[in-house]
Every structure is written in C-alpha cells, then in structure tokens.
C-alpha cells in the first residue's frame, strides 16, 4: 500500500514550460503507479517562479482553488483527499475559508502553505490566523520548505514552537539544501514532521536512524514531472522515488517502510481505507 501525501493539481509555470497537472493526469498517475490514496493541493500561487507577482486576473482565489479541490475529492472518494492551498499574502483566514473547512472536514486533511509562491515569511503575523484555524479544526499544516529564506525550515520550527497544539510538516525537508538543518530541527519538537518530496534516500535513512520511522510521510509532488513522476523525472532519467520503491525497505526494514509509505499517514491524518 502507498499513500502519497503530497500531490498537486493546477498549472505549474516554470521558466522552461507550463506543466499540466490536471485532475485526469493525477488520476491516471495514481492508477498507473499503484498509489492507493493521494492528498492533493490545488495550487494558487501569488507570485511566479521568479517571484514576480502574478496578475490578479490570472490568479485563482483561495476559495476558487478550494472549491475545485473539493469537487475533485467528492468525485473520487476513497482515492483523493485535499489540503487547501492558502494565500496569506493577499487574502486571509476569512469566514468563507472556515465555512468550507467545516463543511468538508471529512475530506480535508490539512492546510498547505507555500511561503515561496506567496512570497511571505512563514513565521509572520499574516500566516497566524491560518494556524489558529488549523488549531480549531485539528488540522496539520504542510509547509513548503526550501533554501529560500522566507521558506526556511527554521521558520517552521519557530511557528511550531509557538503553536505546540498544531502539527507542522516541513515538506521537502529544505528543498535544494543538504537537508541537514531540517533533519536537526525534526528532532527538536514533537509537533514537527517531514515528507519525502525530493528528499534523497540517504536523508530519509538518516532520519529513520536518528528518530525512528514516525516522523516522515511519503510524498512526491506528482504529477509535476508528468504522469510518470514516480518513476521518471522531467529529463527522462530514473526518478528519485524509484529508490524508495526498490531499495528503502531492504535498508530500514519492513515495519519502518510501512510507516513511511502509508501507516504514518493513516494514523496521523486519520485516513481510513
Ligand atoms: Zn509541492
């Protein structure tokens, strides 16, 4: 069994190309690669990859992105769950957001924050109303962490320290870093977790050695490299995830492997399959 806790829909605009992450591509990719359940965030960027503001008329509102995601999950019950992508730079945790969470709590598994694509410090005041909302509805907060200062693992640590009743996931464990900062921080607070999205196998093995197998969830960013993201990257080379499927169990043992690939996700998010 595999649960992918980090999947996207929407259009990802990179300097080289526009990546189609339509619902159809997500469904085909999880079917093709035997993923039993996926937690999906429908992207609603506020700035592009070069940190340039996206014109308002080309942005999705928080509500729009959420409603599309709800529709996707409702049409694919028992396959798709969602984490609404919030827009702390230009919107806030308003009544409408709360209403949608309340009405759809059965398919909402967390709140997704992307400090790079919102160009906002994760531990800033504008983000806090969302954390309060997460606390009220007992939802974890998944945060894109990277080498970009506003999205640093340290800022997630700061927020996690301030809100001990909320669980935080440092997704990517610091993208484009050697993961060391995120790995060190992971052991410092009980409410800090990580995922495997673009995390080299060696870092995952180190995490299991240092902290056991309960701190990490399998995630992939699929279908950001296309329908076969799980096995092939966008250059046509073998995907980093192939090593998770083919080597990880032999290194850390079947119990720890089951934890990372699905069991932690079932327990932590309350996914019933
Ligand atoms: Zn992602």
User: Residue 19 has what pLDDT?
Assistant: 78
Measured in Å, residue 70 CA sits from the centre of ligand 1 at 18
Distance CA(86)–CA(54), nearest Å, equals: 15
User: Residue 20 has what pLDDT?
Assistant: 81
User: Residue 234 has what pLDDT?
Assistant: 86
User: Residue 13 has what pLDDT?
Assistant: 63
Measured in Å, residue 221 CA sits from the centre of ligand 1 at 5
Residues with C-beta atoms within 5 A of ion ligand 1 = 221
Give the residue among 191, 187, 192 at the shortest CA–CA distance from 212: 187
Measured in Å, residue 114 CA sits from the centre of ligand 1 at 8
CATH number at 65 reads 3.20.20.140
Neighbouring C-beta atoms of residue 194, cutoff 10 Å: 29
User: Residue 260 has what pLDDT?
Assistant: 98
Look-up of token digits 């909320």: 166
β-strand 18-21 against 3-13: which pairing, if any? Answer: antiparallel
Q: Which residues of the chain have pLDDT under 50?
A: none
Burial 153-162 (b: 16+ CB within 10 A, else e): bbbbbbbbee
Residue-wise pLDDT for 103-113, tens only, equals 999 999 999 99
User: Residue 58 has what pLDDT?
Assistant: 87
Structural domain of residue 233, as residue ranges? 3-269
User: Residue 49 has what pLDDT?
Assistant: 87
Distance CA(3)–CA(25), nearest Å, equals: 17
Task: Spell out the residues 6+ positions from residue 173 whose beta carbon is closer than 8 angstroms to its own.
Answer: 145, 153, 179, 182, 183, 186, 194, 195, 199, 203, 207
Number of domains in the chain: 1
User: Residue 11 has what pLDDT?
Assistant: 76
User: Token pair for residue 4?
Assistant: 């992918």
Measured in Å, residue 256 CA sits from the centre of ligand 1 at 24
Measured in Å, residue 222 CA sits from the centre of ligand 1 at 8
Run of H or E including 42: strand 37-42
Cβ contact 92:126 at 8 Å: yes
Q: What pTM value is reported for the model?
A: 0.96
Distance CA(9)–CA(42), nearest Å, equals: 5
């Amino acid at each position: 069994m595999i649960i992918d806790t980090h999947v996207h829909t929407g259009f990802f605009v990179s300097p080289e190309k526009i990546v189609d992450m339509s619902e159809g591509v997500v469904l085909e990719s999880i079917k093709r690669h035997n993923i039993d359940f996926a937690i999906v965030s429908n992207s609603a960027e506020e700035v592009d990859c070069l940190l340039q503001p996206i014109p308002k008329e080309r942005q999705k509102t928080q509500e729009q992105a959420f409603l599309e995601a709800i529709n996707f999950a409702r049409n694919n019950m028992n396959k798709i769950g969602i984490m609404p992508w919030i827009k702390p730079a230009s919107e806030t945790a308003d009544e409408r957001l709360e209403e949608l969470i309340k009405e759809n709590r059965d398919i909402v598994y967390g709140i997704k924050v992307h400090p790079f694509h919102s160009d906002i410090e994760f531990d800033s005041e504008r983000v806090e109303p969302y954390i309060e909302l997460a606390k009220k509805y007992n939802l974890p907060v998944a945060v894109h962490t990277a080498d970009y200062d506003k999205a640093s693992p340290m800022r997630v640590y700061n927020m996690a320290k301030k809100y001990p009743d909320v669980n935080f996931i440092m997704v990517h464990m610091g993208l484009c870093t050697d993961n060391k900062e995120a790995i060190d921080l992971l052991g410092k607070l009980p409410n800090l977790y990580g995922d495997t999205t673009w995390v080299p196998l060696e870092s995952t093995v180190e995490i299991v050695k240092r902290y056991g197998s309960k701190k990490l969830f399998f995630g992939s960013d699929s279908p950001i490299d296309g329908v076969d993201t799980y096995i092939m990257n966008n250059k046509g080379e073998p995907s980093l995830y192939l090593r998770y499927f083919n080597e990880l169990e032999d290194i850390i043992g079947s119990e720890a492997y089951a934890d990372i690939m699905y069991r932690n996700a079932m327990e932590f998010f309350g996914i019933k399959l």
